[in-house]
Each structure stands twice: as structure tokens, then as C-alpha cells.
Structure 1
Amino acid sequence: MRSLQKILLLHVLACLERLTHVIAIIHGKKAPENSMQYMASVQDNNGHHVCGGFLITEEFVVSAAQCDDSSLTYVVLGNHNLKNGNHQKIKIENKLIHENYQQVGLGNDIMLIKLSEKVKLGHGVEIIQIPHAEINLKENQVCQVAGWGTTKTHGKPVDELMVVDVSVIDKQVCKEQWPDLPANVTCAGGYKTNKGFCQGDSGGPLVCHGFAVGVVSFNYYKNCNYPNKPNVYTDISKYQQLLCKTSTSHSCQHNFTFFAGIMLSLQKILLLHVLACLGRLTHVIAIIDGEKAPENSMQYMASVQNNKGEHVCGGFLITEDFVVSTAHCDEHNPTYVVLGNHNLKNGNHQKIKIENKTIHENYQQVGQGNDIMLIKLSEKVKLCHRVEIIQIPHAEINLKENQVCQVAGWGTTKTHGKPVDELRVVDVSVINPRVCKEQWPDLPANVTCAGGYGTNKGFCQGDSGGPLVCHGFAVGFASFNYNVNCNYPNKPNVYTDISKYRRWIDEVLEKKKFPKTFFCVKHLK
């Protein structure tokens, strides 16, 4: 508890309007359409935007405690333009404010909003992950903040979501500028720059490397053109216990499902060998009937290349120095991993040499399961707006039949076609495991089926290893398909189910002495 003198001082400052907690985005730009789909507009009973927020589960939104008002009634998700009626508007069921919150500027400025019903996750609405352990942001690290508030001093709120880059400020420097800085906060933007937040949208997230690490809390005065003190955010990692206990009993479980490798019978192995020899199992896979991936999307995608710089497989980044791909990609002698650009002909990317590869010990060949490989990079990637990490489930997942997910790659777009330079992405629907088993009698364990069956959308020659992404999680990756007919695939596409290999992945990371950081991840339903 702060001293009475400090509390009184903060009260006086607030009355003088030197602490500003109705905040917005200054010197930013319109957020790209397919980005930041976790952003929420918290609105009153008249449908007016009051505060920002962000979705952390299907029924919980995080915002700032200062936003609490008896008039708060709805949360709107699914559209960056608040005037566009194509969104989900859900009634607020309950609000939980931190028990030690008093007023803006004194800390503990965090509120959890319980929705009256689960949101429909899809193209316009996604969950953002929050750190499960305390985070150490580097000074000058570039993050993002977004909101619908004013874009200049004494201006009016905007209808379209705006976003701006802000740099993290050293805590000691922030403390010097804010002598009464509360505990458990992060400072970024506003100080010695004209970029940051101002009147219009508190409650919005500070996003660093794809994680919501802070909640917009307060600023200094109402001068948005030349802010002279750091912008202050609630450090969400310091409130993990509150969020995990309240939002869902599954949020912070770390009970991993132990993988038990089961060898196929000799008959099945022989049969699979025959099928492979006949070319009926295809494991060089690409995207059929898709479209170019939006520039600011899927920034975890990796091109695994040989020593000639030729693309041989897809992959995806799960830590700063580890990429996941398929075990059968090792046949192509991969040497480099390229990240940071959807166009492989564009030299503006990070090309990193592969240090070593770890293939699952029970892998034999494509079609027999355990088709997973971890690629250790020779150096850590530079995380930025073009390179991000994608999260993988920490517990087993239950994907619903017909659930729409995405798969991406650089391979051919038609039968016997040539690989493409620009990343392609396509929606695929999850197939019931029983139906998949009927079509693949010798289907290996620990796989997921999606696309290809009864549809002309899926993968084909060119890019195995690419992730199957559902609600922002990499839940699987392309393993094998049937024949080389990409126009009318007649069997389900098969992916390795990554959640079944979570323990194996953690063991590999541990052996490579990678410092694990656990995140608050729930079951996908």
C-alpha cells in the first residue's frame, strides 16, 4: 500500500487532468484487415465505444479496471470498423476488477470481463495469448498498441482501428519520469517520441512478438502531439494467477499427454511400402485452390531450404531458435531456414543456417506416423513485425468436425504444376477421425485429418511441414496425401497432431538447453 501522501498527490494530479486514462492511438496507421483480430470494443448500453480490450479465451476479455462503469453492457468483436455491422456483439455477464484497484495511477488497473456467451472464433475473431511466466522486455524493443480513440489532441474518436509501433522504455528511466510509478507496470512510447496513446481507448493491449504483455493504463496530461512522459501499461504477466484462476480451469494446466509410440504391424509396413512405391502416398505437399497469404499474416511461416537455396519443405517457428517440420523432409538434406517474407524471391528476409535436426525416434517413413522433426537454428531469429512465433497446444486438443482451419505453403497450385514464390493459404475443414479411418484403413495414430476429401481444397506437391492453424494455434502440420491428383483429391489430407508430441518437444528443447517459458494455453474446442 502506498503512503497517504502519495495517494493524496495522485488524487490532486488526477483532478488537474495530468493523469489521463481515456486513451487512444497517436501517429499510427489503420490496422491491416487480417491483423489483431483479438481486439475488442467495450461499449455502453447505447452502443457507444467506451474502452478497448482483448480476447484471451472464448468467453473472457481483458480490459482496464478504470473502464468499469455501470453503463458497460456489450463487447464487440470481429471488425476493425465499428460502423460496420458485420461483427459479434455480445452482452457482458460479469466484470471482475482486481481487489486492490483504487483509481488510475495507483496500479492494479486490470479488469476481466465475462461474456454472456462464447464468441464464434473464425476469420474475424481470434484469441491472443498472454505470458504465463514473468517477462523481461528489452529496452527499445518494438511492440504495438492499438485502439479506436482520438488521433490528435482534443480530436474525436475514430471508427477504424488504429495501430502504432512503440518502443519499450527502461524501468529506471520510467521511474525517474514518474516518481510515484506503481508496481507491476511496463512503460513504452510517449517519452521523447510522438508515438503512443492518448484520449479514447484505455484497456487495449501492448503486443510484443504476438503476446499481449500489457494493458493500456495511463498517460500524462492531454497533449497527444508531444507527450513528455512515458505511456504506462499494466504488466499482465504479474497478474497471471488472477487471470488463470478466473478465466478457465484449463487455462494454466501443464499436464502433458505422454506419447506412447506404437509400431505398425509388419503387414501394414509392407503395405505402406508398396503404396509409397506406387506413388499413392504423396508427401511433397502444397496449397490447392488457395489465395496469397495477406502480407501481415502467418509471420511464423518458414521455408526450409537445401544448400542451393531451393525450397524443399515448409515449417513454422515455435521459439526464437526452433522450427517444426516433418521428419520426411530430412530426405532433402535441408541446410537453411528462411523467415520474414512471404515472397521467396524477395531478399528482405532472415536466412539462418540449420545447426542440427532431431527426428522422432519412432519415425520410419511417411505414412507410418511420428512424422515430426525439430530444427535447431544456428542463431536466434530477430523477432519483429515480419517474424513471429506461433503457439502450440500444451494439452491435447479436441477439434470439432467441420471446424474451419488454415494450411499454407509455397508449393504447386495444380497437379504437376510448379512451386510458387509467394505464400499461399487455404481454408480446410476438419474431418471426423472415424471417417478418415474409413478412407485410410492403415491410418497411423496421432494424426488429424482436414481437407482433400470431398473438396478440391487442401495440399499437394511442394510443401509438407506447413502448419494446420486453428484459432491461432499450430495444431498439426502437413504429413501426407493420396496420389498426385491435386485437382480432385479423393482421400483426406493427413497432418501430424502436434499436441500428441508436446512432451517430446519439451524434452528436445530441454536437451538443447533451451530455457522453456510456459504460457497460459487452454483446450481448443
Structure 2
Amino acid sequence: MHALHKFLLIHVLTCFGGNALRSEIINGKKTKPKSMQYMASVQNKHRYHICGGFLISEDFVLTAAHCEDTNPTSVVLGTHNLRKVDDKTMRYGVKMCKHPSYVKPVMGNDIMLLKLSRKAPLGKKSLIKTIQLPSRQIPLKENKKCVVAGWGFTRTGGGNVNDLQEVNVPIINLEKCQKAWIIALPANVICAGGYGTKKGFCQGDSGGPLVCGKVAVGVVSFNNKNNCDYPELPNIYTEISTFLPWINDTLNKKTCHPKEAQQVESGSMMHALHMFLLFHLLTCLGPNALGSEIINGKNAPEALMLYMASVQNNMGDHICGGFLIREDFVLTAAHCIRSNPTSVVLGTHNLKKVDNRTMRYNVKTCKHPSFKNERQGNDIMLLKLSKNARLDKRVKPIRLPKTVIKIKDNAKCRVVGWGFIRTGGELSNKLQVVDVPFVNLTVCKTRWRPLNELPDDVICAGGYGTKNGFCQGDSGGPLVCGGEAVGVVSFNMNRNCDYPNVPNVYTNISKYLKWIKDILKKKNC
């Protein structure tokens, strides 16, 4: 059992999700003895290191909220070497106090306090010290050198280290950071490392501190998933100063709010742990991933697919696909709202050739009222254009089905988008198209059942028994069968985009015809 746990855990942790558990230290060095004595190894009931953390008072450790996903039961204090742990004096049971507004890392509030089962000794001769938090918001200058530390991997695909590692990372201007990321970052973050430098973190030690001038200013939250040795996007930390009132309130009460508290329980749950690790190993799921790249496709012909829309944010970055269904409405996926769409571009297949005056339209979002997340369905949204699109030889709407669709198994359909063309690639400036076979819904649900129970309002095509399909990059784009848009790109299994091994999942448009018609009739949300 121990070997199986270890095998699954290692493979889970090498997978990235936007909500990746832990973050490895890249191009760092071994931490000196008697320094960083505030560092805590957050561990599960099998005494495996799952996250970093840091002591802020004699009875509280601060870490990341998403570390809750691996069920922390204890922390180890007073050692830099995880092979040298005295359970009687160094291990402390914990109660989790997750921030009440936390949902997922990319939505912010990724912070959690761990209440220790007993007070940590902080005497002069003790190997345990606390670290200071900011007393207010601290303005951090661009390129200021700070330090991040952890026990995570030291290279992509490596293993955990037993000796605490640290690395200097430069602070990155928040505006530059936001521009580099495709998704809209939450307001309560700091960016440092992983961009313009070979130093930073990757999967391995979320929850660890970002330390600037001996003050813990940030908590490791998330990063770009693809390249840990040379990250191409800034690393993201939760900004601690934003949460000082919540932290101080919890420390003063010396307990969690009842709704926040989750008492850790011990006991034998081998089967549950196996299923948890296997689920995350198989999915490496990033439900926050924005859409889907076109795999093994080709450039779309200029005279075809004139309904395609590039959904963009306020910086003019492509964030999702969409398609024109009438001169004043574009249809897309509801989860695209997380990236704050502000406009759409119509009338071009090449995103390098955009005339803002004639091709860009501001939009009002009309998200389906029952949408919560992709996995629960209702992943559909209308975008009301600020003015009617001019329908001409460059712009034409696509028709929708009039009734519930009936499509034969293996019928050839098409999916279109500007997303990546391979795992770890870059967005394509030229519109891509690929044929995908329709997959029977019963077969699709059977293939997905070990990973996720599919909602009833979906259809499946591609990504199973074929190398053609989609991955991260263009959710919201259409699935076109027989000249009609029958589906909206929703989600897939995001670990292996070149050779997906479960069917790709689309929202079934025919299930929402009444909702769509009502809004189009009102010409408003």
C-alpha cells in the first residue's frame, strides 16, 4: 500500500492544474541551517509532504487554501530535513481554517490558516521561529529581490527533495504580469519569478512564503503548467496584506469561524486515498482552463466559417472562441466569463490583421443563470454586441438546430478555433479547423464515469479513438455538424492534448433553444 500511495502521489504532483498542489523550487540552493526556521512541511495522514507553509504565531501556520484538496492532517516544524523528523516533538495535528471566499486558485482568496493542536515552543534555544507579516499593504518595487522556499521538485519531472531549498526571485509589475497571462488574474495577488528568469517555482510546494526583507508578503498559489525548468509566465502568489483583517481576527479568536473550520480526522481510508490520487492522476484537471486548442487541424479556408468570433479581454487578448448567431449576438461558453470578456472580433481568420474600427465590437455578457461550473452543465453564454454586425462577404451568422438533434455515431463534424495546435504550444493567430467524429453519449459517459459524472446537457465528439480534437485554448467555439452549430466547446481531459484519451465534451445547444430565443427576442439579457 505504501508503495502504491507513493507512486500515485508522485505522479499526481507532477501533473499541473491551475490549481496545482505544491510548487517546486527551480534553480535554487539548499537553505542554510538556523535560517527560515518558520518553514512548515504540511503533510497528510501518511506523513507525506503535500504542501509548504510557515509559522506566523505559536499556534497558527499559514498556507494556501488549495492545499486542502490533499487533506492535510499535520505539520512538521523545526527541521529543514524531512528525513530527520521526531514525531513526538516536531509533528503537530492541525485544524483547517480555509478562507470562506475561496473557490479555486485562479479566482483568488487562496489562503488558509492551520490551527496547531498544541503551541509550538518559541524559546531562544528552540529551532522554531515565527515570521513577521506585513502590518499594512507594502508597495513592492519592480525587480526587488525576494525569496521563495520549499521542499518541492528541483526540475520538471523530478522528485521531492528532503532538504529545504530556496531561490531569489524578482518582483514583477502587476500590469506586466496580467498582460503576460491569458486568463484574468484576481486582484489579490503578487507576481514574482518564472518570467524573464530561470528561477521560480513549479509543481511541488504551494503554500510556502514569498519573503521580501524578512517579511512574508505572499503565499505560493499557482503558475504556468507547461515548463517548470524555464517557466514562461510569472509565478502567482496570494498577497497576504489583503487578508490581514481575516488573519488577525482568526488569531485573536484562536479558532476558525464554524463554517471555515474542518477538523482533521485520522483512521484508515486507504481506498478513498487511492481513488483520490487516481482521479487526479488521470485528470490532472484544470477546470479553470480556458477552452481548447485545435489538435491536428489545418488553416480554415478564408471564404468559410465567417461566423467565427474571437472573444477578447480589455487588453485585446484572445481568451475564448465564439460564433455569430445573429447580427447582434455571439454564442460562447459560460466559463469564459472568468477571463472578463469585453469585446469580440469578427470578420477575420487572422488575429494579426484586426481593424479595431470595423471588426471589434464591445459586448454585454448574458451568462446562463444556472451555470456554476463546466462539470455541472449549463456552460453556455450569449454576448450582446454593442452594435449590429455588418453582414457581408466577411461576416455571416451560422444557423442553430430547430429541435433536439439526432446525430449518428461517427458522423463527421467540425470544431474550429485559434487555440494551441499541440500540447504546450502557443495560440495560433490563424483560425484552425479539424474534423472530429461524433461519439455516442452513452459511450462518452461510460468513458468519463471514473473521472467525472457528465451532465445531461452535453454531446461528445473527438478526443477518443482519434488524434483529432481540442485542448486548452478555445472554449466557446462551435461544433458544426451538417452546416449547423450543434455544440459549444466546454471541457476535456486536459493533461494530454495531442492524444486525448476520453471524448471531448460540448454543451448541447438544442437543449437551450428556448433560453436563446427568449434573449434574442428581448434583444437583451
Which TM-score band (shorter chain)? Answer: 0.3 to 0.5
* TM-score, with length taken from structure 1: 0.45
Structure with the largest fraction of helix: 2
What TM-score does the superposition give when structure 2 sets the normalisation length?
0.45
